Amino acid sequence: MAEINAKMVKELRDRTLAGFADCKKALVQCDGDMDKAADFLRKKGIVTAQKKAGRTAASGLVHSYIHQGGKIGVLVEVNCETDFVAKNDAFIAFTHEVAIQIAAMNPSYLTPEDVPEEVVAKEREIRMAAAREGGKPEKVIDKIVDGQIRKWYTEICLLEQAYVKEAKKQIKELVTELVATLGENCKVRRFARWEVGEGIEVKKQDYAEEIAQLAGGK
């Protein structure tokens, strides 16, 4: 069995943010293999996070983020169980990363469950019509569209989106990792995003009319 020293434990702790005792136990369990120990801690963390998911999270932060010199603004509320955790650097950093995600990817909803039924129905209708127009066999159209809807959710729902800084991870996985690290239930509750000029209809004057007005001194 490999000898486990303090340097190894510190390296694993820095890599996973898990506690000292948990890191040492994982290295012993995995015979000193750093990668296996990290996977061991991650699996343990996911199980722990799942157990904590039902606990009430009513503390937390409302975080603001302004992007592109004031062109985009985001507010996001992230909840945890205690004020102590709300002041933790890892929790604060997470809220900032989520705000950046919202600014960059402009999600419309938090989860697939938040998408109104009529919106989903309309999207299915459009995609089914496109599949038929493309000559897809009727018997496989439902399955094709189901897959397309799942992919659509990863585009419009924040928690389903791929993390902009690490595309292999979804935002919901970052939440799970945060719960595993901090030992409390944490959740993104709501968000809002504004972009300068968004929703304003800009009417462009006909070029010829503009020239005529200028020529007439108007």
Q: Is the dihedral of CA 2, 46, 51, 20 positive or negative?
A: positive
User: CA–CA separation, 52 vs 49, rounded Å?
Assistant: 5
CA atoms within 13 A on the CB side of 156: 16
**Domain spans in the chain, listed from the N-terminal domain onward:** 1-52, 116-153
pLDDT at 164: 96
pLDDT tier, 13 (very low <50, low <70, confident <90, very high otherwise): confident
Q: Is pLDDT of 218 > 70?
A: no
pLDDT at 215: 61
If you classify domain 116-153 with CATH, what class do you get?
mainly alpha
The 10 Å CB-count burial string (b at 16+, else e) for 110-129 is bebeebeeeeeeebbeebbe
Q: Which amino acid is at 32?
A: G
Tell me what the pLDDT averaged over the chain comes to.
87
Question: Considering only 108-112, 134-138, 154-158, which range has the smallest mean pLDDT?
Answer: 134-138
Cα dihedral 36→38→43→48 (10° resolution): 150
Nearest CA to 32 among 9, 2, 12?
2
Superfamily of domain 1-52: Ubiquitin-associated (UBA) domain (1.10.8.10)
Are the beta carbons of 157 and 112 closer than 8 angstroms?
yes
Q: Is the dihedral of CA 199, 159, 179, 181 positive or negative?
A: negative
Same fold for the domain at 1-52 and the one at 116-153?
no
pLDDT tier, 43 (very low <50, low <70, confident <90, very high otherwise): confident
